[in-house]
Amino acid sequence: MEIEFAAAEGWLHNVWLLIAVPLVSAAILLLLGKRADKWGHWLGAGSVGVTFVLALTFFFQLRGMDEREGVELSLFEYLPVAGLKVDFGLLYDPLAAIFTLLITGVGFLIHVYAVGYMSHDPGRRRFFGFFNLFVAAMLLLVLGNNFVMLYIGWEGVGLASYLLISFYFDRPAAATAGKKAFLINRVGDAGFAIAIFLMFATLGTTQYDEVFNGVGQLTGATVTAMGLLLLLGACGKSGQFPLHTWLPDAMEGPTPVSALIHAATMVTAGVYLIARSHPVFDASETAQAVVVTIGAITLLIGCIIGCAKDDIKRVLAYSTVSQIGYMFLAVGLGGAAYALGLIHLLAHGFFKAGLFLGAGSVMHGMQDQTDIRRFGGLAKHMRITWITFLLGYLAIIGLPPLSGFFSKDPIIHSAFERHGWSGWVLGSVALIGAGLTAFYMTRLYVLTFHGKPRWTEGQHPHESPPVMTIPLILLAVGSVAAGGLMATSVPGWLEPVLGEHEEHHARLSEWTVTAMTMAVVILGAGLGFALFRRGTALQEQPAGPLVTAARRNLYFDTLNEVVFELPGKLLTRALVFLDNRGIDGVVNGLAATVGGGSGRLRRAQTGFVRSYALSILGGAVLVVAAMMAVTLS
Amino acid sequence: MTTDIAAETLKLPSLDYAALAPMLILFGVGCVGVLVEAIAPKKARFPVQLVLAVLGIAASLTAIVLAAGTEKVTAAGAVAVDGPGLFLQGSIAVLGLVALLLISERSLERGGAFVAQAAVTANSEADRDQATRGSGATEVYPLIIFSLGGMMLFAAANDLLTMFVALEVFSLPLYLLCAMARRRRLLSQEAALKYFLLGAFASAFFLFGIALVYGYAGRVDFAGIHAAVLDSPNDIALLYIGLAMVAIGLLFKAALAPFHVWTPDVYQGAPTPVTALMAACTKVAAFGGLLRVLYVAFERSQWDYRPVLGAIAVLTMLVGAVLAVTQTDIKRLLAYSSIANAGYVLVGVLAISKAGLASSLFYLVAYGFSVLAAFGIVTLVRDADGEATHLSRWAGLGRRSPLYATLFTFLLLAFAGIPLTSGFTAKFGVFAAAIEADQTWLVIAGVITSAIIAFPYLRVVVMMWLSEPGESTPAVSLPGALTAAAVTIGAAATLLLGIVPQPLLDMTENAAHFVR
Amino acid sequence: MSLSPYIPIVGLFALGAGFALFSVAIAPFVGPRRYNRAKLDAYECGIEPTPQPIGGGRFPVKFYLTAMLFIVFDIEIIFLYPWAVSFEALGVFGFVEMVLFIITVFVAYAYVWRRGGLDWD
């Protein structure tokens, strides 16, 4: 299948505005400084609102076109170096379109919410500056028409994420979490960068269409290597096993950040990357197998750790890890499941953002308490938060007809349909995951909103202001409706990008899978309800090895310490030794030589005109002699 | 000989006034400037001269833009108006305009950076008096305008004699300007005298070279020399010695080793805005002349002069980089940096190709903007005795005035050739051109010296940011609007040419064709 | 390329240099030494040397100014003369050019005059 993009025409010529508007707003906010303190947050939210409206117009424009393969817009040559030509070009196709809508739509709601959430924070303007920067970078990420643009956006969102995680940089935990996110992401980014180098080395281009059309000429090993390196990048950004440990720590940032960056948009960039480069993965069986394996492992890890955490944001963070595991699983399955993964991504964008904002609303009313053991009975005091959270909760566990049902069920079904024994394993894992999700989400929900209050003294829970609750309501509406709407429309919409795929379900019928899932979900939810209906102990209780392990994040941090940090430290020490004795010796020697030479030469600069004139005369004699020598030789 | 013969053989030169307008405008404005000095009352001179100079340069720039695309030799073969010529003239006009902003600043010091009467005995009673009170001489404006006009003519001169006249026209005002610093009068006068004596010395070489080349080719215009090279029946030694001597005159102006010796002393002693003008515009003009001589007149003997000039490029880069390491004065440091940068431009020049020409043109503009901004910041770091140029005084500047320390750091990084600055794009361009032309050894030397010279730059950065401000660290003066504008333009251009160099690259690419 | 035509020149150069060096070197040994006041004075074309002005050997700049003005007009004459000789051939163009040249010289002259360069005190 030859991929070709038309040049952008008409209104679509202005797609660059999507990136420019938030970028300009970010620049204004960050450059004007204190002068923008009074109105900066409205500018920040407004610019994303404008971007959303623009995104809508572009979307309808694209929808009205006959050929929806996508339009390209080349703004200027970015890197014209011999052989390598990278344009600063944009590609607006159905895939980019839905991402743009998600980023700007959900982004706008969260921006509005943040106006209220950050109202008492002295750094609110700075926050909105970074937030706008993030939106601009994320839009560049999804709108680029080559892998280098994607990479620039990728690093841009990484930067914004780092800045926002360590937004409260005076808290050591936040600063450390920021550094951790940054460092772990470097590992993934290195993989991604090497993948781009590989593309350039083998195909001589990084344009999407040229790369995808050229994949067929490459050897299997090259394609697999390319796929695995891209996957490494995706794992880093999306918090997938084994690079998932930074994501829960990233919750040190303000809650709107957790909602937008670390739940709804940035962490799904990995899924976007795999879906975008699907021809690469389609061409490599091995790469696809690794993707599904990682997805399956991650979704299980996320669920298990999520069950044992007591911090409302960390539970949601592990839930994010696990849900993205589902998406990876889906895009790894390939074929029709690409669309399923993306539907889940969109649906997840709504309900997880809603859940995070709900958690933020709870924290707002509970003086920044995050321990769910210290909540309880909040339903009466925070009606809107309660109902919207309830809807989000029901959506994530996949209760029909809410959106999670339409997005998660088909993934489980597709997992079962994978050929060979692996289908059974993957399907079972996805099914167990669904049950565990229902369990820990029920635990979270019940402990927070029902039962007796277990508040610390002096707490007066209250509902948040409308500027926060209205986005909650809108996101809840999205959580309810999005799944059903998208399950029917999105696969068709994405067909120009992902190709047509027959759905053939041979192994299990749709009803069987739905019934099994429902059973598991009800079991998990029921268990959760039964166990935590009456609240929970206020302190951590001694528990069996599995729970302890889950509380310690399944020892992944320890594993990282042993596997990476310890050898790293030893390597550093060895290198420092080598550096001090060997390289520094040479370098210092060289430096001393240069310095000494410089000092000696400097004495030739006497300040006397006569010696200068002599030097010029000497130079002239040499030049003339050299000319003669060259000529006569 | 009788007058009749003259009447028969004398053909009046045809003059294309549109093509000559950029220079004619400047020379005219210079004359008017002298008249203003003669007639206008003392108080009115500064504003009148400033407006006149700005309008003059702007008009000249307009004429250059209007002449864009012209390709012809006019004024009896004396002046060539072509892509590189117009590009260089435009660069000189734009950089000159920015330098003029620095020169006109009067809020940093009462009466500006210039002394009222340069001839007053240094350190005498009268001198101390005029240093603190007198309003600066406004003669600097006609001088600068004449100098810029001379530079433009130099870049467009199409025969060696015109070139020599242009060389003197732009040099003489510069000698005078160097002597006019308000502070440190002795140093300033010494700088001017050194520059003058050595400049005259180099001019003598240049003139002698012209004579020898004429002896070989029988012509002084470049097309004639081009035709005669390798074909003339005369002794070829005349050609090579002549070429060597002409080149020496040009290498002196461009500050290439071993003809660079005047640079640190003059850059240090001259009033800083004038130093900025010399580092930016003179460099453009000198390389413009060198390019034309090497590309147009002596292209056919490139295999002979390339190794010699290549050795000079390597020597220049080495001397500039190595000597920068031990400098303790910021102006001297920047002087050695400008020497090293001249070496890099020469690497591009020696590609002797379209790419080499285009990349050299780009380099000159990019470097000009950066160096103007850098010297602009130097004028701001000052105490009661004027500018504080000793490096120890810059320690901890990052704490005192983070904005200017940041800007200066950025500019130093640009000089060091870090990506996302114009320095990177420029260096990349000349190195790429040299490699394409099989001059890899020059590139190797260039990369090594880049590494060496990064050290003194970073030393300044470290000093500004990682040292505690001492008692002697001066605060940075609040710049007047003019200096602020100049520094902003310079730094913005450095950034822009690092991020979106394409428009200017295209422009140099399109301009890179000499008319013969 | 043959260098042979230059060999006689080099020889002549060497001879000349040798003679000059020889003369200077031999003089202190063979010449008589009889000093008087005139011999110890600086050589100034037989004119009585003027005493140094008080406060260092600075000469009033006005002398230079006068000399330079003289040179300027001298050069103007040098240009005017050939123009006058071939006035017919150069025609209107030559006339305009010469007027421009004279104006330019007078601009400088006006500057010197207005700024007091011609006042002796």
Phi, psi of A601 (to 5 degrees): -60, -35
Put simply, whether B5 touches C (Cβ < 8 Å) is: no
CA dihedral of A161, A165, A168, A174, whole degrees rounded to 10: -150
For an interface test with B, give the residue of A624, A628, A632 to mutate (most B CBs within 10 A): A624
Cross-chain residue pair B265–A613, CB shorter than 8 Å: no
Put simply, whether B37 touches C (Cβ < 8 Å) is: yes
Question: What does the pLDDT read at residue B244?
Answer: 92
Contacts of range A30-34, beta carbons closer than 8 Å, 24 or more positions apart: A30/A126, A30/A129, A30/A130, A30/A133, A34/A125
Rounded CA-CA distance B198/B182 in Å is 23
- C11 CB-side CA count, 13 A: 6
* pLDDT, mean over chain A: 83
pLDDT above 70 coverage of chain A, percent? 95
Question: What does the pLDDT read at residue B2?
Answer: 43
Task: Answer with the residue of higher pLDDT: A96 or C49.
Answer: A96
Token representation of residue B468 = 């505690």
Task: Return the partners of chain B (3 or more C-beta pairs < 8 Å).
Answer: A, C
Instruction: Give the model's confidence band at C48: pLDDT under 50 very low, under 70 low, under 90 confident, else very high.
Output: low
Question: What does the pLDDT read at residue A79?
Answer: 66
Using an 8 Å CB-CB cutoff, list chain A residues near B236. 631
Cross-chain residue pair B37–C115, CB shorter than 8 Å: yes
Residue range C16-32: mean pLDDT, rounded: 88
Instruction: Give the model's confidence band at A65: pLDDT under 50 very low, under 70 low, under 90 confident, else very high.
Output: confident
Rounded CA-CA distance A592/A186 in Å is 36
pLDDT digits (tens, 9 = 90+) for A549-575: 777 776 777 777 777 777 777 887 887
pLDDT digits (tens, 9 = 90+) for A320-343: 888 889 898 888 887 778 888 888
pLDDT digits (tens, 9 = 90+) for B342-382: 999 999 999 999 999 999 999 999 999 999 999 999 999 88
Paired sense of beta strands A71-81 and A6-7, if any: parallel
Using an 8 Å CB-CB cutoff, list chain C residues near B3. 85-86, 88-89
Question: What does the pLDDT read at residue C47?
Answer: 60
| First CA to last CA distance, chain B | 33
Question: What does the pLDDT read at residue C38?
Answer: 64
Q: Where are the domains of chain C?
A: 4-114
Contact between A448 and A309 (Cβ < 8 Å): no
Question: What does the pLDDT read at residue C100?
Answer: 92
According to DSSP, the residues that pair with A85 across neighbouring strands are A80
Per the domain annotation, does B1 fall within a domain? no
Nearest CB to B119; choose among C61, C85, C86: C61
Residue range B208-232: mean pLDDT, rounded: 91
pLDDT above 90 coverage of chain A, percent? 3
Question: What does the pLDDT read at residue B446?
Answer: 93
pLDDT over threshold 70, residue B4 = no
Put simply, whether C88 touches B (Cβ < 8 Å) is: yes
Cross-chain residue pair C104–B236, CB shorter than 8 Å: no
For an interface test with B, give the residue of C54, C63, C86, C96 to mutate (most B CBs within 10 A): C86
Nearest CB to A627; choose among B197, B262, B305: B305
Question: What does the pLDDT read at residue B142?
Answer: 95
Token representation of residue B4 = 């009749």
Range name among A301-310, B176-185, B421-430 with the lowest pLDDT average? A301-310
Nearest CA of chain C to the CA of B6: how many Å? 7
Question: What CATH homologous superfamily does C4-114 map to?
Answer: NADH:ubiquinone/plastoquinone oxidoreductase, chain 3 (1.20.58.1610)
Cross-chain residue pair B119–C90, CB shorter than 8 Å: no
Nearest CB to B3; choose among C88, C113, C115: C88
Which residues of chain B from 201 to 260 reach within 8 Å of chain A, CB to CB? 201-202, 205, 236-237, 240-241, 243-245, 247-248, 252, 257-259
pLDDT over threshold 90, residue C3 = no
pLDDT digits (tens, 9 = 90+) for A161-218: 888 888 887 888 888 888 888 888 888 888 899 998 888 888 888 888 888 888 888 8
Token representation of residue A400 = 């029909």
Rounded CA-CA distance B38/A113 in Å is 70
Per the domain annotation, does B106 fall within a domain? yes
Token representation of residue A170 = 């005076």
Nearest CA of chain B to the CA of C88: how many Å? 7
Cross-chain residue pair C1–B121, CB shorter than 8 Å: no
C47 contacts: CB under 8 Å, gap ≥ 6: none
pLDDT over threshold 60, residue A390 = yes
Cross-chain residue pair C107–B39, CB shorter than 8 Å: no
User: Number of structural domains, chain B?
Assistant: 1
- Chain A to chain B Cβ contacts (< 8 Å): 91
Rounded CA-CA distance B185/B116 in Å is 12
B221 contacts: CB under 8 Å, gap ≥ 6: B77, B78, B158, B159, B160
Nearest-by-CA chain B residue for C104: B31
pTM: 0.64
Using an 8 Å CB-CB cutoff, list chain B residues near A620. 205, 244-245, 248
Instruction: Give the model's confidence band at C53: pLDDT under 50 very low, under 70 low, under 90 confident, else very high.
Output: low
Cross-chain residue pair A619–B248, CB shorter than 8 Å: yes
pLDDT over threshold 90, residue A461 = no
Supply the DSSP string of B225-264, one letter for each residue: HHHHTTT-SS-HHHHHHHHHHHHHHHHHHTT-TTS-THHH
pLDDT digits (tens, 9 = 90+) for A480-514: 887 777 877 877 788 777 777 766 666 777 788 88
Cross-chain residue pair C1–B237, CB shorter than 8 Å: yes
Question: What does the pLDDT read at residue B8?
Answer: 53
pLDDT digits (tens, 9 = 90+) for A217-230: 888 888 888 889 99
Nearest CA of chain B to the CA of C39: how many Å? 33
Provide the phi-psi class of A5: left if phi over 0, else alpha when psi is between -120 and 50, else beta. beta
Closest CA to B96 of B318, B357, B320, B280: B280
Put simply, whether C84 touches B (Cβ < 8 Å) is: no
Question: What does the pLDDT read at residue B3?
Answer: 46
pLDDT digits (tens, 9 = 90+) for B65-124: 999 888 989 888 899 999 999 999 999 999 999 999 999 998 888 888 888 888 788 888
Contact between A13 and A73 (Cβ < 8 Å): yes
Nearest CB to B240; choose among A594, A620, A631: A631
Nearest CB to B197; choose among A601, A609, A615: A609
Put simply, whether C39 touches B (Cβ < 8 Å) is: no
Nearest CA of chain A to the CA of B357: how many Å? 18
pLDDT digits (tens, 9 = 90+) for B276-303: 999 999 999 999 999 999 999 998 888 8
CA A291 to chain centre: 17
Per the domain annotation, does B76 fall within a domain? yes
Residue range C54-67: mean pLDDT, rounded: 72
* pLDDT, mean over chain B: 90
Instruction: Give the model's confidence band at A83: pLDDT under 50 very low, under 70 low, under 90 confident, else very high.
Output: low
Nearest-by-CA chain A residue for B316: A619
Cross-chain residue pair C91–B12, CB shorter than 8 Å: yes
Task: Return the partners of chain A (3 or more C-beta pairs < 8 Å).
Answer: B
pLDDT digits (tens, 9 = 90+) for B28-44: 999 999 999 999 998 89
Nearest CA of chain C to the CA of B37: how many Å? 7
Put simply, whether B236 touches C (Cβ < 8 Å) is: yes
Nearest-by-CA chain B residue for A625: B241
Nearest CA of chain A to the CA of B428: how many Å? 10
Per the domain annotation, does B2 fall within a domain? no
Instruction: Give the model's confidence band at B395: pLDDT under 50 very low, under 70 low, under 90 confident, else very high.
Output: confident
Using an 8 Å CB-CB cutoff, list chain B residues near A623. 244, 247-248, 308, 312
pLDDT digits (tens, 9 = 90+) for B463-509: 888 888 777 777 777 788 899 999 999 999 999 999 899 899 999 99
Using an 8 Å CB-CB cutoff, list chain C residues near B121. 58
Which residues of chain C from 51 to 70 reach within 8 Å of chain B, CB to CB? 58, 61
Nearest CB to B258; choose among A591, A615, A631: A615
Question: What does the pLDDT read at residue A34?
Answer: 76
Put simply, whether B65 touches C (Cβ < 8 Å) is: no
pLDDT over threshold 60, residue B1 = no
Contact between A147 and A234 (Cβ < 8 Å): no
Question: What does the pLDDT read at residue C44?
Answer: 52
Report the range out of A154-168, A363-377, B48-62, B415-429 with the highest average pLDDT: B48-62
Rounded CA-CA distance A485/A15 in Å is 26
Cross-chain residue pair B39–C114, CB shorter than 8 Å: yes
Question: What does the pLDDT read at residue A3?
Answer: 67
pLDDT over threshold 60, residue A1 = no
Q: Which domain holds residue B308?
A: 10-511
